[in-house]
Amino acid sequence: MKDKVQTAIVGVTGYAGAELARLLLHHPRLKGLPPVFAGRLDDKDMARGGVPLAEIHPQLADSHGNGLLRLEPFSWELLAERGVDVLFLATPHEQSRQWVPEALLRGMRIIDLSGAWRLNEAANRAVYAFDDHDSEQAAATQAQAVYGMPELHRAEIAKARLVANPGCYATSVILAVKPLVAAGLVNLNHGIVADAKSGVSGAGKAPTARTHFMYAADNLSAYSVFSHRHTGELLEQIGLSAEEIVFTPHLLPIPRGILSTVYVQFREPQTRASIAHAYREFFAASPMVRLYEKALPQIQHSVRTNYADIGFQLDAAGSRAVVVSCLDNLLKGASGQAVQNLNVMLGWPESEGLE
């Protein structure tokens, strides 16, 4: 990789794209080299040479002229002309599935925020119903993909050409459960219950009947029961069968943030000290995880940060635990984690530009 790294974002118009632009524009290692912003433009915007970033996200305008940067019409020639080294895709799953093989052929490293390449097992990937025109190429690309959770795959991410950024719900639940399962503490025959709640921005920027204010406000609703597309990530990354976990997502009437409440039973009675030790040992090299040992996390403490906050309580017998995991779905659950992966890929401090 060159001393100066040129990044590009395709998909800057969405919520995650806005956060990704903000983080990269202010990253200390990328000063003076803003991302290339590329996407689809209509004829009117093409005629005026693109769309100023300030028109898309006014909050990104500043005294350094970042608001004057433009969203330009996407083309592979544009990315080659600008010397793009790392390509961020904040695009629909199907678009990423189509574009990533081409980007790899052109020598770019890719951090894909969609679900296109997160799942290794075809049975789990079926929820996306991908229609690959070249199945052999898709299989070869999938074989290169590394699941982009540094807390689990730091060494592999450092060498990866394609990082599949995790889902927001999946990040919250995996970080809560994986250390306990990896330590052999959980009675998987009893099963794990993960009850997760997310703010409305987790559904993306395009409005739907379910995310309409009149539906979401003053309401709390479960959805995609037994069928949410992040379930496969939990199975593959924690190492579970479908019968060993029940994951139920809910829509919270707040803009952003996730709180997951996870219920586990242990194989043998535990103490607060033994559970805290399991988490501390697992996350010893993970600067973006905060362990709450005396209280339970709340969304308001992690929102607008890249931290994943984890706390737990045991029952009197030490045989069961309730684990609470909180994070910002647009940051640690999406764009912040993408920049964390960038740091790992380039050998920079993992939390740089994120604290």
CB atoms within 10 A of CB 32: 6
- Which residues 6+ apart lie within 8 Å of 141 measured at CB? 100, 101, 104, 117, 162
Q: Which of 116, 168, 176, 303 is catalytic?
A: 168
Q: Which residue has the tokens 């994120």?
A: 354
User: Do residues 220 and 197 make contact, with C-beta atoms less than 8 angstroms apart?
Assistant: yes
- Per the DSSP assignment, residues forming a β-bridge with 145 are 162
What's at 101, amino acid-wise?
P
326 catalytic? Reply is no
SS (H, E, C) the chain: CCCCCCEEEECCCCHHHHHHHHHHHCCHHHCCCCCEEEECCCHHHHHCCCEEHHHHCHHHCCCCCHHHCEEEECCHHHHHHCCCCEEEECCCHHHHHHHHHHHHHCCCEEEECCCCCCCCCHHHHHHHCCCCCCHHHHHHHHHHEEECCHHHHHHHHHHCCEEECCCHHHHHHHHHHHHHHHCCCECCCCCEEEEEEECHHHHCCCCCCCCCHHHHCCCCEECCCCCCCCHHHHHHHHHCCHHHEEEEEEECCCCCCEEEEEEEEECCCCCHHHHHHHHHHHCCCCCCEEEECCCCCCHHHHCCCCCEEEEEEECCCCCEEEEEEEECCCCCCCHHHHHHHHHHHCCCCCCCCCC
Strands 7-10 and 36-39: parallel
257 and 177 in contact (C-beta within 8 Å)? Answer: no
Active site residues: 168
